[in-house]
């Protein structure tokens, strides 16, 4: 210290800490001359002592003016050293950097000024302190004092010039520091960082693109900044990098793809648009390189297809098509299960367009990689069944297409229909809202006869009798009214003369027994009028309640539709179709006289030309139960209406109608016993309830069977609608 004091006059030291700037400045100039003389004589030991004196006595002094003077002195010493400053740089720069965090803003300002002057002298030698300087400038860019910010900006520009000229700058050492700062929210710091990224990217010898994944997320984060200028700068930097990616022969897409997927779900619209645009370019450029990330990318694209912003929707759809056009091999890291998992989650999306595209992907995978998809069938099957309840008809139709594709295998076909019946059972509203659409579409895709046979087999063993009745009524209504099932109706019409039609009739009969009106409809469709009459006669045992009459009313209405036009024409020959006439009169007698159905059917029957009957036909038609003798002699045979050849008569006689009638009556007995049990259970529950109001002993509870048939009661519980 004494050696240093002997070199520097006391007046210089005194003026260096003066409160007046001019005195400090003059003292610094004198200090510069002293250091220059020492440097020319090569006395670097004394120079080191002088610098140490400035640091300890001035820069680290508790007095602000001393600190200001010390900073000016260090800058002056550097100027005095000129080309020889490098060997003392560590001793000079570190105290200045420490002053950047001084509590006094004027000291921070002088620190910027001092480092600026030092940097101008040492230039490239300055690079060894770059990370420390960058960190200090990053903090000063957000300084609360405007003068300090201005000084920091000047220093920043000089440092950028030095770095771009230097061949000693290490991008590898700098990137960790940049990555650490990228998530700072301060707008001034963000501008500072974007500025450095842009400058470094412009240097040909610095490969910023190779390190893009390290700060890409930070740039995307800035796209949602409240400052328009910052958003614009970040967007400009990203656009430049994207152009470099397009022109680069080798790019690491993996880490960047992960970032883009996350940013595609950003709440900020501009960020989403930029992310999906990048993904679009990546899919076009990377293609096979992105195979391991298909699932993640698809997870980002599908929600954007339904984005509220049209630009995002357009880019997302284009990207989706590009991705689907790439035919990858599951053996080459193409994860079918991961993509199915993504599509399954997107089927729960609130947006219809997203659900539709998710289904298109499942369909595409089924067509390309059927075996692999079927391996994951248990993971997606329940979700696909649930999708049948979707509010969108287009979604439901696509789901049915997928189900039909899966059901090409017999085992999957059976499983599909079993699950479908189960869903209808647990959710009657699904049967009401979607039943017709689902059944009709499956009949088109999977063959109507096959579907109806399988459903009939399932319902034949259905334990829930109430549901079985509702389901059979639904299937029967579809069979009688849907254009898609015209061939099936045509086959049933030939049941008496065609072995295939007879086999189908028998196949449906067992489950159709759950509903009297369904059985009668089936018999009328198959032109088995004598059996229809027998079934009608057996209905005397039924509880003629509101539900029964509603179904009967629907059947009478159906008789007036084009489907049954052939029956109405057959009534022109009552002598030939006497059992048809008797069946219809039987239905008429079951209807209340004041009902519209009674009026409609009676009006139709009044037009029948009864003059064509002969006495033998009338006697045969009035003989009572057409199966009375057959029930006693099971080996007997009967014939239906119409002129049938001996061969055809033998063919239709293959159906044991007496046994079928017994089957129907036994099934209806089970339904009546169930209804009785349910009624007794309700009465018991009501009588055991202590909290409910006591029933008046003189009032008979109104049951469904005692209610009058009104317009409001025409639709029974769980009634199926077309």
Kindly state the average pLDDT of the residues 526-547.
88
Q: What is the pLDDT of residues 353-404, one digit of tens each?
A: 999 999 999 999 999 889 899 989 888 988 998 898 888 999 999 999 999 9
Residue 41 pLDDT: 85
Q: What is the pLDDT of residues 495-534, one digit of tens each?
A: 888 899 999 999 999 999 999 999 999 999 999 999 999 9
Neighbours of 348 (CB within 10 A): 12
pLDDT, the chain, mean = 85
- Longest distance between any two alpha carbons in the chain, whole Å: 154
**DSSP assignment letter at 206:** -
The whole-angstrom separation of Cα 280 and Cα 425 is 45
Residue 556 pLDDT: 94
Which pLDDT band, with edges at 50, 70 and 90, does 124 fall under? confident
Domain ranges of the chain: 1-168, 170-200+207-243, 515-609+656-677
Kindly state the average pLDDT of the residues 62-91.
89
Q: Where are the alpha helices (DSSP H) in 54-203?
A: 64-81, 89-99, 105-122, 130-140, 146-165, 171-181, 187-202
Residue 519 pLDDT: 95
SS3 497: coil
Query: Does pLDDT of 265 surpass 70?
Result: yes
Give the residue, 649 or 124, on which the prediction is more confident.
124
Q: What is the pLDDT of residues 181-217, one digit of tens each?
A: 998 999 999 999 999 999 999 998 899 999 999 999 9
Q: Which residue in this structure is represented by tokens 């002293």?
A: 34
Residue 229 near residue 235 (C-beta atoms within 8 A): no
Kindly state the average pLDDT of the residues 136-153.
93
Query: Does pLDDT of 15 surpass 70?
Result: yes
Residue 347 near residue 355 (C-beta atoms within 8 A): yes
Query: Does pLDDT of 560 surpass 90?
Result: yes
Residue 239 pLDDT: 95
The whole-angstrom separation of Cα 545 and Cα 716 is 11
Give the residue, 126 or 363, on which the prediction is more confident.
363
The whole-angstrom separation of Cα 233 and Cα 243 is 16
Top-confidence range, 4-18, 380-394, 612-626: 380-394
Residue among 290, 305, 307, 431 at smallest CA distance from 356: 305
The three-point CA angle 503-640-478 to 5° equals 50
The whole-angstrom separation of Cα 300 and Cα 80 is 61
Which pLDDT band, with edges at 50, 70 and 90, does 279 fall under? very high
Which pLDDT band, with edges at 50, 70 and 90, does 350 fall under? very high
Joined tokens for residue 490: 């045509």
Q: What is the pLDDT of residues 452-472, one digit of tens each?
A: 999 999 999 899 999 999 999
H or E segment to which residue 389 belongs: none
Which pLDDT band, with edges at 50, 70 and 90, does 655 fall under? confident
Residue 114 near residue 96 (C-beta atoms within 8 A): yes
Residue 83 pLDDT: 82
Query: Does pLDDT of 288 surpass 80?
Result: no
Kindly state the average pLDDT of the residues 6-31.
83
Kindly state the average pLDDT of the residues 250-267.
90
Q: What is the pLDDT of residues 316-343, one digit of tens each?
A: 999 999 998 888 777 667 888 999 999 9
Fold designation for 1-168 = 1.25.10
Which pLDDT band, with edges at 50, 70 and 90, does 4 fall under? low
């Amino acid at each position: 210290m004494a050696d240093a004091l002997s070199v520097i006059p006391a007046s210089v030291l005194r003026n260096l800490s003066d409160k007046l700037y001019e005195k400090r400045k003059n003292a610094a100039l004198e200090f510069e001359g002293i250091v220059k003389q020492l440097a020319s004589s090569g006395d670097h030991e004394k120079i080191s002592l002088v610098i140490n004196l400035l640091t300890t006595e001035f820069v680290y002094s508790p007095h602000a003016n001393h600190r200001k003077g010390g900073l000016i002195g260090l800058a002056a010493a550097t100027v005095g050293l000129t080309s020889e400053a490098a060997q003392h740089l560590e001793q000079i720069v570190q105290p200045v950097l420490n002053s950047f965090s001084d509590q006094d803003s004027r000291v921070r300002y002088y620190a910027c000024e001092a480092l600026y002057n030092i940097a101008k002298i040492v230039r490239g030698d300055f690079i060894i302190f770059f990370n420390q300087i960058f960190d200090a400038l990053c903090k000063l860019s957000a300084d609360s004092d405007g003068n300090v910010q201005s000084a920091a900006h000047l220093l920043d520009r000089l440092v950028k010039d030095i770095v771009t000229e230097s061949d000693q700058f290490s991008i590898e050492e700098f990137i960790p520091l940049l990555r650490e700062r990228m998530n700072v929210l301060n707008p001034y710091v963000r501008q500072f960082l974007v500025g450095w990224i842009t400058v470094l990217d412009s240097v040909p010898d610095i490969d910023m693109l190779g390190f893009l994944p390290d700060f890409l997320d930070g740039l995307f984060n800035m796209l949602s900044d409240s400052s328009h200028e910052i958003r614009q700068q970040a967007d400009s930097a990203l656009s430049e990098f994207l152009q470099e990616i397009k022109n680069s022969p080798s790019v690491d897409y993996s880490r960047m793809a992960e970032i883009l997927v996350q940013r595609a779900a950003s709440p900020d619209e501009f960020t989403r648009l930029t992310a999906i645009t990048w993904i679009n370019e990546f899919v076009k450029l990377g293609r096979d390189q992105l195979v391991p990330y298909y699932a993640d990318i698809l997870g980002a694209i599908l929600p954007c297809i339904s984005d509220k912003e049209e630009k995002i929707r357009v880019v997302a759809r284009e990207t989706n098509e590009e991705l689907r056009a790439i035919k990858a091999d599951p053996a080459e890291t193409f994860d079918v299960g991961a993509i199915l998992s993504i599509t399954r989650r997107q089927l729960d999306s609130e947006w219809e367009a997203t659900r539709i595209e998710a289904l298109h992907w499942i369909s595409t995978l089924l067509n390309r990689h059927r075996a692999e998809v079927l391996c994951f069938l248990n993971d997606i099957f329940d979700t696909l069944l649930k999708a049948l309840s979707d509010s969108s008809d287009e979604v439901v139709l696509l789901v049915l297409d997928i189900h039909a594709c899966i059901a090409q295998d017999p085992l999957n076909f059976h499983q599909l229909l079993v699950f479908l019946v189960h869903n209808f059972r647990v959710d009657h509203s699904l049967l009401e809202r979607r039943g017709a659409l689902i059944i009709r579409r499956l009949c088109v895709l999977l063959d109507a006869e096959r579907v109806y046979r399988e459903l009939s087999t399932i319902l034949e063993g259905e334990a829930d009798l109430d549901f079985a009745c509702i389901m059979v009524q639904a299937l029967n209504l579809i069979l009688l009214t849907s254009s898609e099932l015209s061939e099936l109706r045509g086959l049933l019409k030939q049941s008496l003369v065609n072995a295939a039609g007879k086999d189908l009739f028998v196949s449906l009969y067992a489950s159709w027994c759950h509903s009297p009106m369904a059985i009668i409809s089936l018999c009328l469709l198959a032109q088995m009028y004598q059996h229809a009459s027998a079934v009608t006669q057996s209905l005397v045992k039924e509880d003629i309640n509101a539900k029964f009459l509603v179904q009967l009313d629907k059947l009478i209405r159906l008789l007036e539709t084009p489907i049954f036009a052939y029956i109405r024409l057959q009534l022109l020959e009552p002598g030939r179709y006497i059992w048809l006439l008797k069946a219809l009169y039987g239905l008429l007698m079951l209807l209340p006289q004041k009902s519209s159905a009674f009026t409609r059917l009676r009006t139709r029957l009044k037009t029948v030309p009864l003059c064509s009957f002969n006495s033998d036909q009338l006697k045969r038609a009035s003989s009572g139960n057409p199966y009375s003798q057959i029930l006693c002699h099971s080996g007997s045979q009967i014939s239906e209406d119409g002129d049938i050849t001996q061969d055809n008569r033998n063919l239709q006689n293959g159906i044991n109608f007496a046994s079928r009638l017994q089957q129907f009556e036994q099934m209806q007995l089970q339904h009546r016993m169930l209804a009785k049990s349910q009624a007794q259970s309700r009465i018991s529950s009501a009588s055991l309830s202590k909290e409910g109001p006591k029933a008046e002993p003189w009032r008979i509870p109104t049951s469904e069977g005692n209610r009058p048939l009104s317009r409001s009661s025409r639709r029974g519980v769980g009634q199926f609608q077309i």
